[in-house]
Amino acid sequence: MSKKYYAVVKGKKPGIFETWKECESNVKGFKGAIYKSFFSYEEAKQYLDSNNSSDEIRNDNELKKVIEADTLNGIVSIFVDGSYNKFLQQIGYGILIINSSNKNDWIKINNKLTEKEFNEYKKHLNISGEIIGTLEAIKYCVNHNLNKIKIYYDYEGIEKWANNSWDAKTPISLMYKQSLSQLLKSFNISLMFQKVKAHSDIEYNDIADSLAKQSVGIKS
């Protein structure tokens, strides 16, 4: 009997599995599970990669439906933004973590880069804040046993440095890629990415943007 590979696009832990038992444990009871079997690893990986390329979400209504469904499946939604205050020479980030349908349970975090981080990554301004904020958001989740994580972003490097679509050549991208790799190796987490349209008045983005500005003393 030929060996099969199971590609799980949407499940408790997306990925490629070598037995039906592993695949079944990841899709059974998961609303909207998407998976398929193949006779070669290469075909399974191609299917997984093609289905993981996230289509851009363009408006609030569409996004709210996705987040509502994800929340029911135990997936935490994260929005991050960075901000730069040229007068104070500070870079900061704002994080919104949606772990419930109740807004009062949403987690809001903001902070500014340390002096060391600022000196190392100041060339990249807001992007540095967004990247460091993304790593801090993931660290918060793993420290609070939230292991199914979806990162919403408008800057493409957040996903493309993570999945090797872009080469990491700058100090900030190299640090991001290495830190993310270490987190994935050290903790049992399922990490997903979803692009949202930039400057589209999406409520969740606006909250993260406001938190980032507050961190460096900018009134929003």
What does the pLDDT profile of the chain (220 residues) look like in tens digits? 578 889 888 888 888 888 999 999 989 998 888 899 988 877 787 777 666 555 667 677 888 888 998 898 899 999 999 999 999 999 999 999 999 989 999 999 999 999 999 999 988 888 899 999 999 999 999 999 999 999 998 888 898 888 887 888 899 999 999 999 999 888 988 899 988 876 567 889 889 999 999 999 998 7
Average pLDDT over the chain reads 88
**Residues 6 or more apart whose Cβ sits within 8 Å of residue 14:** 8, 26, 48, 52, 190, 192
The overall pTM is greater than 0.85? no
| Helix residue ranges, H only, 15-125 | 20-27, 41-52, 60-72, 115-121
Range(s) of the chain covered by CATH 3.30.420.10: 57-216
pLDDT value of residue 199: 59
pLDDT value of residue 54: 54
Cα–Cα distances in Å, from 63 out to 71, 72, 128, 184? 12, 14, 25, 26
CA 155, 161, 166, 167 torsion-angle sign = positive
C-alpha–C-alpha distance, residues 28 and 26, integer Å: 6
Number of Cβ within 10 Å of residue 201's Cβ equals 9
Q: Residue holding tokens 């994080």?
A: 95
Q: Which amino acid is at 105?
A: D
pLDDT value of residue 60: 78
Provide the CA 43 distance to its chain's centre, in angstroms.
25
Of 207, 188, 194, 205, the C-alpha closest to 146 is 188
pLDDT value of residue 49: 64
β partners of residue 79 = 96, 152
- CATH code assigned to 57-216: 3.30.420.10
Q: Residue holding tokens 């109740």?
A: 102
Architecture of domain 1-54: 3-Layer(aba) Sandwich (3.40)
Provide the CA 115 distance to its chain's centre, in angstroms.
26
pLDDT value of residue 86: 92
Q: Mapping DSSP to helix (H, G, I), strand (E, B) and coil, where does residue 67 land?
A: helix
Angle at which helices 126-143 and 171-186 cross, to 10°: 10
pLDDT in tens, 78-106: 999 999 999 999 999 999 999 998 999 99
Q: Which amino acid is at 208?
A: A
pLDDT value of residue 53: 52
Residue 181 tokens, joined: 């790799």
Range(s) of the chain covered by CATH 3.40.970.10: 1-54
